[in-house]
Amino acid sequence: MAFSKFKASRLFDGTQFIDNSVLITKQDGTIEAIVATEEAGEEIEWLDGILMPGLINCHCHLELSHLKEVTPPHTGLIEFLCSVVTKRGFDPAIVQTCIAAAEKEMWENGIVAVGDIGNTADTAATKANSKIYWQNFVEVLSFTDQTASEQFTHYQKQQALLQKALEQRSTPSRTTLVPHAPYSISPKTFELINQHTAGQIISIHNQEHAAENELYQTGGGDYLRLFKIFGIDSSPFPITGLNSIQSVLPYFNQGQTIFLVHNTCMTDPDISWANKWAAQHHIRLVYCLCINANLYIENKVPPIELLHAHQCEIVLGTDSYSSNWQLSIAKEIQSVCQHFPNLPLEKVLQWATSAGARALQWDDQLGSFTKGKQPGVTLLNIESGLSKRIV
């Protein structure tokens, strides 16, 4: 059988760097071995950069790819949301073209699995023919209890459409229903989502802005501006006197894995409380960081060293083209390293590979250079923030 042999400046196997080594794969990308360079024999392909398993993007909104550069950077989250929700009526052909281009961009830059949020089934056609693993998060929105059942049924239909479109694929995919955010989901809607997601992987945008905490603390704050667009004059959410995470996490008690996305305004006590509460209630928390989106919208960074110090399970995401300059995990790695130079590089690379694969429960194939797996092979250049698929 013919093998491919790769030797790069450095080799990262999903857990650690293994210096002076050659990666050997079968022609179809199945990992055969990592061997010392002296023992690798002839016909080695030499590459400049870090050779690593395929990248895992745990948070994206592929369906928003047509919103590239529509909202300028640094508007702040509330202004950003008000802008995005009022931008409708794009030509469906343009939406489809942008979705297809964004999928191609991710595939070519070495992303092998995506946790992808959608309010529609617009991405179905592209995903049906994609070689990426898709964890689809169909995002439920319902500000009030009055609309909860109707909205939930609507999003169940979107879920069914996506599932049907993707059932012929040979690459794995899943589709689950998820809450959008604490500032858009009423108590009854949370209960419906909890009932229908036992044991599943779900996600929620968490504490992306300080006003989210204020909303649950006092019922006031800047989110009231967003609600006004939907004709809602006062906060439809219970005033708990607590930060948002402490107000909404208790809705979940069905053994879910919950991706908490952003966490920009999460405090030390919030993290301690959330981790303890999750452990006591058999909930698995995964903290998903989208640093470039936070920089794009708020010009802020998430409390990464704090999350790391709490030994949180951390993964990386790009968020969407409405709030990022590109859909590149390489750029996210570069940005994390630039803003947090004390973090070990190995740790950040783990978040982008093995930790992401474990969080999405596809580590049987992805995230590490283990013999017999087909994790994809990516070449990363940290200085330029560029990556490309090798296999």
- Smallest distance from Zn ion to CB 262, Å: 7
Q: Which of 229, 234, 183, 236 is nearest to 206 (CA)?
A: 183
Answer left, alpha or beta for residue 376, where phi above 0 means left and psi between -120 and 50 means alpha.
left
Q: If 0-12 CB within 10 Å is exposed, 13-18 middle and 19+ buried, where does residue 187 land? A: middle
- Smallest distance from Zn ion to CB 288, Å: 9
Residue whose structure tokens are 């009526």: 89
- Smallest distance from Zn ion to CB 118, Å: 11
**Which of 81-91 are b and which e, b meaning 16 or more Cβ less than 10 Å from the residue's Cβ?**
bbebeeeeeee
- Smallest distance from Zn ion to CB 258, Å: 14
Q: Which of 185, 197, 121, 118 is nearest to 151 (CA)?
A: 185
Residue window 284-323: x/- pattern of binding to Zn ion, with contact defined by CB under 5 A: -----------------------------------x----
Residue window 87-126: x/- pattern of binding to Zn ion, with contact defined by CB under 5 A: ----------------------------------------
Size of the site for Zn ion (CB under 5 A): 1
Compute the distance between CA of residue 312 and CA of residue 297 in angstroms, rounded to an integer: 24
Residue window 324-363: x/- pattern of binding to Zn ion, with contact defined by CB under 5 A: ----------------------------------------
Nearer to Zn ion, 151 or 294 (CB): 294
Task: Estimate the crossing angle of helix 148-166 against helix 187-195, to 10 degrees.
Answer: 40
For the record, the structure tokens of 176 come out as 């689950």
Residue nearest to Zn ion (CB): 319
Listed in sequence order, the residues at least 6 apart from 261 whose beta carbon sits closer than 8 Å to its beta carbon are 59, 203, 204, 205, 206, 208, 288, 290, 317, 319
Nearer to Zn ion, 80 or 252 (CB): 80
Nearer to Zn ion, 76 or 219 (CB): 76
Nearer to Zn ion, 222 or 319 (CB): 319
- Smallest distance from Zn ion to CB 59, Å: 6
Nearer to Zn ion, 52 or 360 (CB): 360
Listed in sequence order, the residues at least 6 apart from 164 whose beta carbon sits closer than 8 Å to its beta carbon are none
- Smallest distance from Zn ion to CB 330, Å: 19
Strand 201-206's sheet: what is its strand order? 201-206, 257-262, 284-289, 314-316
Compute the distance between CA of residue 128 and CA of residue 158 in angstroms, rounded to an integer: 15
| Single-letter code of the amino acid located at 268 | D
Helix (H) or strand (E) holding 219: none
Residue window 359-378: x/- pattern of binding to Zn ion, with contact defined by CB under 5 A: --------------------
Q: Are 22 and 40 in contact (CB under 8 A)?
A: yes
- Smallest distance from Zn ion to CB 331, Å: 16
Nearer to Zn ion, 127 or 205 (CB): 205
- Smallest distance from Zn ion to CB 44, Å: 41
Nearer to Zn ion, 23 or 293 (CB): 293
Within 169-198, which residues bind Zn ion (CB under 5 A)?
none
- Smallest distance from Zn ion to CB 36, Å: 43
Residue 366 backbone phi and psi in degrees, to 5: -115, 165
Nearer to Zn ion, 296 or 369 (CB): 296
Nearer to Zn ion, 122 or 319 (CB): 319
Task: Kindly list the residues in this chain that would bind Zn ion in the complex (CB under 5 A).
Answer: 319
